[in-house]
Structure 1
Amino acid sequence: MMASVNRPTIMVTNDDGIDASGLRSLVRVLVSSGRYNVQVCAPNSEKSAVSHSITCRHPLAARRVNIEGATAFAVVGTPADCTSLGISKALFPSVADLVISGINKGSNCGYDIVYSGTVAGAREAFFNGLPSISISYDWVESISSVQDFTLAAEASLPIIGSVLSETEKSSYPRNCFLNIDLPTDVANQKGYKLTKQGRSTNQVRWEPMTSDMHGGQMSSTMTTTLSQEHLQFKRIRGADYHDADRQSLKEGFITVTPLDGLSPANVECETFFRDWLLNVA
């Protein structure tokens, strides 16, 4: 694909894999806008919840993938790997002006941000001095549809355009990156709302599994019949706690949360440990 020198370049990655509907919808909307050169460097398979893990001990394999209007590669690696490779000039001839990670199938708010491979894809670009955005859609089974990813991408375009505009003017802050979450009813979203990362997380329980397979899924039981050497458990996500960013998302807003690469302790903790350490010494 011939790139236009007059258009900014956006590199897209994700953690759901290069074939995921969220990524494909985002790329399609970016290409259709006619405003951007689009690069894609994404995992060859799903890498959800891998956080910021990277590949150190073996080479990364990449293969060319046909995505209309974009130059695309699938990489046998993590989202952070994909971003790092994609902005290195080893894969593409030029470094993107903006890195976008998403659109993720499921929200990334509160402490879920720590687990998120989607957020890590944007954070890796931030570590390397590039403007970046992670985008997630609050997918709910039996309510959401694939078309919602397109609506989410379209609703994100003004932010994407503005980030690039501010970057061109050298007025965009380089000490943070953006995490965007779009509500389930994205067609009737209430607009953008600046939020802070909350402390909410899912209540998780672990359920023992039997070795009997039903329809490709392991059946569960509260009394495991597996041998002690081969116990298996399934993670069961419970209800969310709602505060800060997650609460605004559930109210129907598109949440825009600036993030730093680090997670420093709050002032109360710093005060406690300052005095505590004197006593320890």
Structure 2
Amino acid sequence: MDGGAIVASRPAVMVTNDDGIDAPGLRFLVDLLVASDRYRVFVCAPDSDNSGVSHSITWLRPLSARRAEITGATAFAVSGTPADCASLGISGKLFDGMIPDLVISGINIGSNCGYHTVYSGTVAGAREAFLYGVPSVAISYDWKAGKSNANDLKLAADACLPLINAVLNEIKAKTYPEDSFLNVDVPSDAVNHKGFKITKQGKYMARIGWERTHSHRPALETYQTSNMDVDSVSGYANNIPSHVENELLFKRVINRNNVVREEEEDVDHRVLQEGYITVTPITALSHTVSEDVSFFKEWLTHLAEHSSSSSL
């Protein structure tokens, strides 16, 4: 077998994210996959930070895709959302007909447990691939503002490599389940994690409110504004829009005293806080709450009766 055939026989892994193609979490993960010399590595990620955009897609305008220099990988920065990037990357249109064996979205700065998966662009990137039949994994790191640093993201990538390898082995053997994708969260102390643990999605949510502000700076920490690398924010101030007279500015704030917490032992956020890497199989569908079906059946009956009597 010649060298080209050997390369082509390697599994193809595509990486996306929501923090942007320059985010260190993505770069560390890609570097690790390239260094393993086991995979063909592709990147299709937003050209700017798209945190918290959920599963939004771009519909009314074309997307631009420009080549990005990432050693050992074929990479494009795209003017779209994480879902856009996943969709384009698996379409066969961007990478000369290549459709990845696995899509990995991450590594995100900040955990994505419980109800936060609804807002997460990271999870959406994996979900979009899943919707089109491509196995996928979302990976997030439980970043602690003022404590975590760039090296923690590298450690998180290292910790997740055995899981990624195992997923690809199952895909190669055609034994990988097709009814879910994986949402993975790595604890803050990644190097001393307690192992991988299967969890279920809980209802954890840090309630977010609003406060008046006089600054256009981001309210929450991102890879550009975190304490990881001062060089990464050198030109950030120049991109802040000027204040417009008579406008009211509001920023989102997390209410630490109004957090929905879990009581069950096997839910994602609780297990993450115990120091495990949580592995949560989830689907794209919202499940019907069976206990409420009977209520709403009776409710609709009364509604129909009321509507009929009102029309007489």
Would you call these one fold, judging by a TM-score over 0.5?
yes
Comparing 175-184 with 138-147, which one deviates more in the overlay?
138-147
Q: CA deviation at 1:37?
A: 0.6
Measure, in 1, the Cα distance between the counterparts of 2:55 and 2:170. Answer: 27
Gapped regions of structure 1 (runs ≥ 5): 217-225
- The equivalent of 2:298 in structure 1 is 275
Q: CA deviation at 1:277?
A: 2.2
- The equivalent of 1:67 in structure 2 is 70
Q: Give the AA of the match of 1:233.
A: F
Which residue, 19, 24, 43 being the options, matches 1:21?
A: 24
- The equivalent of 1:261 in structure 2 is 284
Measure, in 2, the Cα distance between the counterparts of 1:211 and 1:150. Answer: 32
20 and 210 in structure 1: CA distance in 2 versus 1, 3 angstrom threshold:
closer
Q: CA deviation at 1:241?
A: 3.1
211 and 136 in structure 1: CA distance in 2 versus 1, 3 angstrom threshold:
closer
Q: Give the AA of the match of 1:132.
A: S
Question: Is residue 131 of structure 1 aligned with residue 143 of structure 2?
Answer: no
Which residue, 177, 186, 189 being the options, matches 2:190?
A: 186
Q: Give the AA of the match of 1:19.
A: D
170 and 278 in structure 1: CA distance in 2 versus 1, 3 angstrom threshold:
farther
Taking structure 2 as the reference length, the TM-score comes to 0.82
- State the identity %: 55
Which entry has the higher C-alpha Rg, 1 or 2? Answer: 2
Q: CA deviation at 1:120?
A: 0.4
Q: Give the AA of the match of 2:56.
A: S
- The equivalent of 1:158 in structure 2 is 162
Taking structure 1 as the reference length, the TM-score comes to 0.91
Gapped regions of structure 2 (runs ≥ 5): 218-236, 238-243, 305-312
Q: CA deviation at 1:212?
A: 10
The equivalences for 1:141-156 within 5 A come to 141-156=145-160
Measure, in 2, the Cα distance between the counterparts of 1:16 and 1:262. Answer: 25
Q: Give the AA of the match of 2:252.
A: R
Q: CA deviation at 1:142?
A: 2.2
- The equivalent of 1:219 in structure 2 is none
Measure, in 2, the Cα distance between the counterparts of 1:210 and 1:142. Answer: 23
The equivalences for 1:1-281 within 5 A come to 4-93=7-96, 94-210=98-214, 230-239=247-256, 240-243=259-262, 244-281=267-304
Q: Give the RMSD, CA atoms, in angstroms.
A: 1.9
Comparing 240-249 with 191-200, which one deviates more in the overlay?
240-249
- Secondary structure, aligned partner of 2:299: helix
Measure, in 2, the Cα distance between the counterparts of 1:61 and 1:212. Answer: 27
Q: Give the AA of the match of 1:90.
A: K
Q: CA deviation at 1:206?
A: 1.0
